[in-house]
Structure 1
């Protein structure tokens, strides 16, 4: 049976790199990202379904759930889409609370809502969830308090979900620094260019997906 994956933030970076790897192995893909102009060509390249939109929007999440239902189920949910928050990165003493609230909606509530929507199919197929996290969830980096707090919350949600849903594999993955547009926005393009490419993380993700180890926190070796 052909396996189906839903990947958020799939138009670039790690989401795109993983989508290309899964497509090469015959996976059926549902891809979403906010930028229709960039997502469309990716879907055409991979023979995937493109549903552009913001995962923080409940109406868009409903469209994604309908797409999963139309395809008969789901084997893998990858919560890769993420916001950076206020830029330049502020200290917590100066963090605009409205921006932090918006960031929690994007980085915590939206992934959880997608998990809730997908769980019936994932339980049925003994599927898997990959929640992309960050070392900022566990380390104290100046300026990264807002973003790190959202990833810490996502990690604890994942931790509890793994206990509550034993038939579904749940991995929260810290990929380390990657040369992405988000990192460039945070620290500058020149500095971000020195980080490894997102493609270097894909082998770690594929080992999880293909070998299905126990649920838990994963860091790139």
Structure 2
């Protein structure tokens, strides 16, 4: 069975993608900071018949990243690494003049440094896979100038560039940076708590766009989920 590591998998997009992969027969290694919600997600996904390891921890912790990859190795390898765990840097978001530098460091450490650390740890398994792939969750804030989204957007822009360079350096892998578009998630509510998000789609509605990338083994690059969903 193919194996995936998904960070930030206790809720939102990570959990929805995990459910879709489990339904397709994938084995999963799941990460999140909160043990209770993560185990709840794991139990749900085991209901699809998948083997699931739930490892609570922080992706900024080197030992935790090593444990995630070790769990994938125990399952027989690694076919897909999903860097979904994200930090905003400030909750709610604030203008750059108010953004604490420690908050920016947290966003960069979680969204960029930890993502690269996990990629580096996982590369031997990904290279050995028949169709190894890295999926990095980006954002439209990486390419658009939205007020108060500067710190988070800067971290996602850095992740986009990391993805692009990794694709050049590892031509045998697929490396995708994907903007999921609007979603109704706890992360968005924490970012802009006064905004009405009732019109935003739930994460499960976006997952088919990511499955299209997997099914087609699309070329490495940056994608936007709404565009993928609109493609016949």
Q: What TM-score, normalized to structure 2? A: 0.92
Q: Secondary structure at the match of 1:78?
A: strand
Q: Counterparts of 1:20 and 1:87 in 2: how far apart (Å)?
A: 28
1:11 corresponding residue in structure 2: 10
Q: Kindly indicate whether the alpha-carbon contact (under 8 Å) linking 2:126 and 2:132 is maintained by their aligned counterparts in 1.
A: yes
- Whether 2:104 is the aligned partner of 1:100: answer yes
The one of 128, 138, 148 equivalent to 2:143 is 138
> Where does structure 1 lack aligned partners over 5 or more consecutive residues?
none
Alignment correspondent of 1:82: 86
Aligned residues: 220
What is aligned with 1:155?
A: 160
5+ residue gaps, structure 2: 47-51, 228-232
**1:9-54 Cα distance to aligned partner (Å, 9 max, x none):** 1111111111000101110011111111101011112121100111
Q: CA deviation at 1:58?
A: 1.2
C-alpha distance in structure 1 between counterparts of 2:84 and 2:60, whole Å: 13
* Secondary structure of 1:121's aligned partner: helix
User: Given the superposition, is the C-alpha separation of residues 189 and 63 from structure 1 closer, same or farther in structure 2, using an over 3 Å criterion?
Assistant: farther
Q: Does 2:150 align with 1:120? A: no
What's the CA shift for 1:94?
2.1
TM-score after normalising by structure 1: 0.96
| DSSP 3-state at the match of 1:31 | strand
The alpha carbon displacement at 1:147 in A equals 0.2
1:182 Cα deviation after fit:
0.7
